[in-house]
Structure 1
Amino acid sequence: MSSVAKKIQEQQIQEQQKSVQTVIIRKAKISFGEMGLICVLAIFIAFLGTRVISNQAEIYKTNKSIQMTNHSIEEQTRLNVDLKEQVSELSTYERIWKKAADLGLMLNENNVKVVQE
């Protein structure tokens, strides 16, 4: 009897091991609602990406316009300074006396009036 009891006991142990080893693994499927949420999220991310890129493009255009305006202001300022220097060079007393003499004008001290700038 002891060998029969031993065999029964071994069979029970083997059945327990078999039942423990057979584990069913199921894959989780994505439901229709979850798929919809994923699609909405993907569309939202694409929309935000497009907005960010479009805003960056507008910022770039604005900065470029500002730089061009600053450049034209600097050019105009430089031109104004050059013209002021030219005016000061052309309005020297020596040059005026020389031009007056070339045109045949003479200095009459009775007709001279002082003009201040």
Structure 2
Amino acid sequence: MSNLARKLQQEQQQDIVNVPKKDEVKKFWLSPGEKALVLMFGVVFCFGGTFLVSNQAAIYEVNKEIQVMETTIQEQQKENSDLTMQIGELSTYERIWEKAKQLGLTLNENNVKVVEN
């Protein structure tokens, strides 16, 4: 009987082994549509990053030009104020009287007219 039991056991094992296997369909992590979406997102992300960096570089250049222009304006304002101060110093009454004496001019008090507002 042990032979019979062994035979029966072998037949059952063969039935289990001989069960036709289903064709396994390889399951990818992403479908083709999802792959296309991921690819498009990556391309848009790269172009967006490039666009952002180029805009920041342009803004930096404009800010640099503005600072250079402001520095130039400040220098010109300083020069203008120095020249205004020089005009004030050179147009004093004493200096004008001194220059008039050097040129031989004299003050005739009979010829002076006073203008009132």
TM-score (norm 2): 0.68
Distance 1:57 1:30 in 2: 38
Give the alignment of 1:42-81 within 5 angstroms. Answer: 42-81=42-81
Deviation at 1:98, TM superposition (A): 1.0
From the superposition, tell whether residues 113 and 75 of structure 1 become closer, same or farther in structure 2 (CA, over 3 Å): farther
Deviation at 1:108, TM superposition (A): 1.0
From the superposition, tell whether residues 83 and 113 of structure 1 become closer, same or farther in structure 2 (CA, over 3 Å): farther
The share of aligned pairs that are identical, in percent, is: 52
Deviation at 1:79, TM superposition (A): 0.8
Deviation at 1:73, TM superposition (A): 1.3
Give the alignment of 1:78-97 within 5 angstroms. Answer: 78-97=78-97
The one-character-per-residue Cα deviations of 1:57-116 (angstroms, maximum 9, x if unpaired) are 121122112112211111111011000110011011221111101000001123334579
Distance 1:115 1:75 in 2: 41
Gaps of 5+ in 2: 3-8, 14-25
Distance 1:57 1:76 in 2: 29
Give the alignment of 1:33-48 within 5 angstroms. Answer: 33-48=33-48
From the superposition, tell whether residues 114 and 75 of structure 1 become closer, same or farther in structure 2 (CA, over 3 Å): farther
Distance 2:85 2:115 in 1: 21
Gaps of 5+ in 1: 5-10, 16-25
The one-character-per-residue Cα deviations of 1:12-55 (angstroms, maximum 9, x if unpaired) are xxx9xxxxxxxxxx774433222211210110001110111111
Aligned length: 98
